[in-house]
């Protein structure tokens, strides 16, 4: 058995390799199980990462990007989880381009001021912006 496989099977991840999961949803998601609160999200995320040899996750605020949902709530949840596991999570904020220019810019500023530097846009989920 190779050293890499042996370490992985023994729960030690990939030896001498930084492992980042590039796409995680944290928070409400309309077709999947989710966490009850940010404390549970933080604890379970760490448990999952440790069990699978993952050093950090790139996370976005669940299904709040869907349609005309309140993306502010998803970003709030994301920030709350990030405060609990700052070294293990890279947060990606959501905005909905169908919202007003002023609201989007305010949310971008708010999240930037909170330390977030990544954005996730999926126009298909956001009423197919631009129309």
Confidence of residue 59 (pLDDT cuts 50, 70, 90): very high
Rounded Cα distance between 120 and 130, Å, is 16
Q: What is the pLDDT at residue 63?
A: 64
Q: Tell me the mean pLDDT in the region 110-122.
A: 93
What predicted TM-score, i.e. pTM, was given to this entire model?
A: 0.82
The residue-averaged pLDDT of 31-59 equals 87
Q: How far apart are CA 17 and CA 55, in angstroms?
A: 9
Confidence class for position 124, pLDDT limits 50, 70, 90: low
Structure tokens at 129: 């912006």
Instruction: Please state the rounded mean pLDDT for residues 62-78.
Output: 77
CATH of 16-125, one of 3.20.20.140, 3.40.50.1110, 3.40.250.10, 3.40.1280.10: 3.20.20.140
Q: What string of H, E and C letters represents the secondary structure of 34-82?
A: CCCCHHHHHHHHHHHHHHCCCCEEEEECHHHHCCCCCHHHHHHHHHHHH
Domain layout of the chain by residue ranges: 16-125
**Mean pLDDT, residues 77-87 taken together:** 96
- pLDDT, mean over the chain: 84
Of 30 and 10, the one with more pLDDT: 10
């Amino acid at each position: 058995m190779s050293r890499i496989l042996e370490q992985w099977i023994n729960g030690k991840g990939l030896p001498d390799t930084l492992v980042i999961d590039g796409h995680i949803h944290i928070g409400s998601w309309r077709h999947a199980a989710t966490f009850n609160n940010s404390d549970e999200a933080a604890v379970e995320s760490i448990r999952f990462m440790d069990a699978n040899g993952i050093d950090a996750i790139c996370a976005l605020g669940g299904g709040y990007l869907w349609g005309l949902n309140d993306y502010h709530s998803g970003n709030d949840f994301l920030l709350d989880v990030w405060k609990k596991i700052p070294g293990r999570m890279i947060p990606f904020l959501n905005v909905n381009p169908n919202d007003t220019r002023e609201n989007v810019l305010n949310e971008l500023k708010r999240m930037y001021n909170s330390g977030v530097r990544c954005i996730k846009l999926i126009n298909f989920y956001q009423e197919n912006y631009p129309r």
